[in-house]
Amino acid sequence: MDVVREIQNPDQGWMQRYEVVQELGDCFASVGEYENARRCYEKAAWLEPDEAGPYVGTGVIELQQGRVEDAEVAFRVALRLDAGSSRAHAGLAMIAQQTGRHREAFEAYLKSLELDSNNLTALLGLFQVSCQMGTFSQVIHYLKVYLQMHPGDCSVMFCLAALYAREGQDGPAVEILRDILSLEPEHTDARNLLEEMEHKAAHVNQE
């Protein structure tokens, strides 16, 4: 590929810009071209040795390919370069979650969201870990914060409704589920949960 040859050629002017090479790596990673992405991240790290981005990108593709130890090394290098990297904390959280260290994953997801409450990967990861641990108050807070910025995100709305239902807060859960169905009438999970909750409410009223 011509782009890859340009990455490897130090004389290409436009490929001497860190932002361009880093973004190209992210593009390759998003479509599963991991070797090209890795070359971009290596070049980006050479251009800007103190930037965390290339190491976060490398960690993501290593994790996607199942090389957990290499991914953890990359994320930890990123955090040494930038302790405020939300994506690096989320990466370590995903590794902890995959290896059954739920408390560690929970804390790392929280740290990621403290740094960037708009990090959807960390938010959904925190939701999953919270369900595994039975701890919901903090994830409810971050789901609500995220929805203030993205009020029509039905996937996050459903997570919040499910947590409200699990916590016995039927009123808010039903309200959110109805909002989801007004936005996405074919949202099967929301329709099923709403029917379940309405059936439960009708049964209680009959008693």
pLDDT per residue as tens digits for the range 144-189: 999 999 999 999 999 999 999 988 899 999 999 999 999 999 999 9
Q: Measure the CA–CA gap between 192 and 42, rounded to whole angstroms.
A: 48
Is 29 buried (19+), middle (13-18) or exposed (0-12) by CB count in 10 A?
A: buried
Q: Measure the CA–CA gap between 51 and 78, rounded to whole angstroms.
A: 8
Q: Measure the CA–CA gap between 206 and 143, rounded to whole angstroms.
A: 34
What's the confidence (pLDDT) of residue 203? 64
Block means of pLDDT (10 residues each) for the chain, length 207 residues? 47 71 93 93 94 96 94 97 96 95 95 94 93 87 93 93 91 94 94 89 63
Question: pTM score, two decimals?
Answer: 0.81
